C-alpha cells in the first residue's frame, strides 16, 4: 500500500496520509477504472490521486517495482521508504543489549536469526502459534517473536531458542546484520521495512492490501506465502479461525528462505538497493525544502485538474462499487 503524504507548505499546516494509490493495485478495481473512465481520462489509474491530492505536492513512499510503473504529474514524487535503511549492528545493542547478547549467543551456536511479527491489528490464533513454533523448531534457528497475545505461547515459554515479547524494537532489529529472514502480514509498511533492510519474508496476509502485496513479494522473488493465494481478494478479517498452514509448511518455507542458493536473500538485498537508489528521506527532504523556497504552483496543470474536477461523479461511483466488493468479500469470508 503506497502511503501518500502531503508535503507541508506555508499555507497548509496539516499533513494527510491516504491509501488512495494502493486500491488500483487490485486488477478488478483497475479494470473497473479503465473500462468505466477510459473516455474521460488520459491516465485513469491516477484518478484517485488526482482527486485527492491533485493541487498539492505529494510524496509517495513506495518503490517502482513494488508498485507498477505509471505516469504521474510533476507534483507527485516517488521517494522510496522514509525510514533508516542502514545495516547497523550497534543500533540494537543500544536499545536492548539483552536481546543483542541473546542473538550473538545464537550465532556462536551456528543458529540463524528469524523475526516474526504481525503488526498491531492482526489477532493471533492458537493453531498459528503451534504451527510456527513446531515448524521452526525443526530448523537451526533462534526466533524473535513480537506476540501481543503472549499468553498463547505459555506452553513453550521456557524454550531458550525463542525470544517472545509483546513489544520488540523492530527498527533496530531489522538493522541487525544477523537477521536472516522474517514473517509479516505483508502490509505495505511492514513489507517495506523488511525488504528495505534486505530481509526475505514468509508472508501471512490477512486483509485489504496484504494479499496483493504478498503476490507482488512472491513475483519479485523476495518471499514466500505460507499458504497459496490463487486470486486477489478484498478480505476484511483481522484473523483466521480456519487452519491455513501447518508446521511442515512452516519448516519448508523458512528452509527455502534461509537457503542462500534459493536466491530469496539475494533478491531482497537487491530490493534494498532499489529503495536506497530511489532517494528516500534525502529526496523527500529536498522536495520539502524546494517547496518552501520556490513554491509548487508551476507543477500543477490546471487544464488536467479541471478535467478531473468535472468528473467527480466517476469517483463517487467507483467508491460505491468498491464498497460493494468489500462487503461481498467480507460476507464470503
As a whole number, mean pLDDT of residues 48-54 equals 51
pLDDT tens digits for range 286-316: 888 887 888 777 777 666 666 655 555 565 5
Looking at the DSSP assignment, which residues form a beta bridge with residue 183?
Answer: 116, 202
212 vs 54, residue with greater confidence: 212
pLDDT value at 84 more than 80: yes
As a whole number, mean pLDDT of residues 240-254 equals 86
Please choose, from the candidates 277, 240, 24, the residue with its C-alpha nearest in 3D space to the C-alpha of residue 126.
Answer: 240
What grid cell was written down for 238? Answer: 483481522
Taking the C-alpha atoms of residue 174 and residue 91, their distance in angstroms, rounded to an integer, is 10
323 vs 86, residue with greater confidence: 86
311 vs 183, residue with greater confidence: 183
Q: How confident is the model at residue 20 (pLDDT cuts 50, 70, 90)?
A: very low
Tell me the percentage of the chain whose pLDDT exceeds 70. Answer: 71
pLDDT value at 173 more than 90: yes
User: 7 near 274, Cβ under 8 Å?
Assistant: no
Please choose, from the candidates 100, 239, 243, 224, the residue with its C-alpha nearest in 3D space to the C-alpha of residue 172.
Answer: 100
pLDDT value at 22 more than 60: no
pLDDT tens digits for range 193-204: 999 999 999 998
Taking the C-alpha atoms of residue 95 and residue 81, their distance in angstroms, rounded to an integer, is 23
User: 201 near 223, Cβ under 8 Å?
Assistant: yes
pLDDT value at 37 more than 50: no
**What residues have CB less than 8 Å from 251, skipping those under 6 apart?**
135, 136, 138, 139
Q: How many CB atoms lie within 10 A of CB 289?
A: 10
What the chain holds in terms of domains, given with CATH numbers, is 4-80+279-332 (no CATH), 89-276 (3.40.50.2000)
Please choose, from the candidates 22, 6, 23, 89, the residue with its C-alpha nearest in 3D space to the C-alpha of residue 288.
Answer: 6
CA–CA–CA angle 106, 112, 114 (5° rounding): 105
Whole-number pLDDT of residue 323 = 67
User: 54 near 63, Cβ under 8 Å?
Assistant: no
Amino acid at each position: 500500500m503506497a502511503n501518500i503524504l502531503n508535503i507541508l507548505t506555508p499555507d497548509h499546516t496539516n499533513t494527510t496520509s491516504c491509501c488512495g494509490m494502493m486500491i488500483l493495485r487490485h486488477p478488478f478495481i483497475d479494470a473497473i477504472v479503465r473500462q468505466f473512465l477510459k473516455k474521460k481520462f488520459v491516465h485513469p489509474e491516477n484518478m484517485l490521486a488526482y482527486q485527492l491530492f491533485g493541487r498539492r505536492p505529494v510524496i509517495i513512499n513506495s518503490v517502482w517495482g513494488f508498485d507498477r510503473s505509471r505516469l504521474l504529474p510533476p507534483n507527485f514524487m516517488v521517494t522510496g521508504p522514509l525510514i533508516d535503511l542502514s545495516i547497523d549492528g550497534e543500533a540494537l545493542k543500544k536499545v536492548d543489549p539483552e536481546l543483542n547478547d541473546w542473538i550473538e549467543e545464537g550465532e556462536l551456536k551456528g543458529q540463524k536469526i528469524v523475526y516474526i511479527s504481525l503488526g498491531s491489528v492482526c489477532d493471533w490464533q492458537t493453531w498459528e502459534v503451534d504451527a510456527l513454533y513446531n515448524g521452526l523448531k525443526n530448523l537451526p534457528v533462534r526466533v524473535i517473536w513480537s506476540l501481543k497475545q503472549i499468553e498463547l505461547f505459555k506452553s513453550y515459554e521456557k524454550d531458550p531458542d525463542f525470544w517472545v515479547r509483546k513489544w520488540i524494537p523492530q527498527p533496530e532489529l531489522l538493522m541487525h546484520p544477523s537477521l536472516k529472514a522474517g514473517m509479516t502480514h505483508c502490509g505495505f509498511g511492514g513489507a517495506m521495512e523488511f525488504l528495505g533492510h534486505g530481509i526475505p519474508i514468509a508472508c501471512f496476509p490477512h486483509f485489504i492490501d496484504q494479499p496483493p502485496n504478498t503476490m507482488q513479494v512472491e513475483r519479485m522473488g523476495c518471499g514466500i506465502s505460507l499458504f497459496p493465494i490463487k486470486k486477489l481478494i478484498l478480505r476484511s478479517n483481522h484473523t483466521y479461525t480456519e487452519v491455513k498452514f501447518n508446521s511442515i509448511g512452516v519448516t519448508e518455507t523458512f528452509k527455502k528462505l534461509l537457503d542462500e542458493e534459493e536466491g530469496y536473500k539475494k533478491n531482497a538485498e537487491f530490493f534494498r538497493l532499489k529503495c536506497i537508489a530511489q532517494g528516500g528521506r534525502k529526496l523527500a527532504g529536498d522536495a520539502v525544502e524546494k517547496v518552501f523556497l520556490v513554491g509548487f504552483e508551476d507543477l500543477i496543470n490546471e487544464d488536467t485538474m479541471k478535467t478531473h474536477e468535472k468528473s467527480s461523479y466517476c469517483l463517487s461511483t467507483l467508491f460505491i462499487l468498491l464498497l460493494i466488493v468489500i462487503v461481498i468479500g467480507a460476507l464470503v469470508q
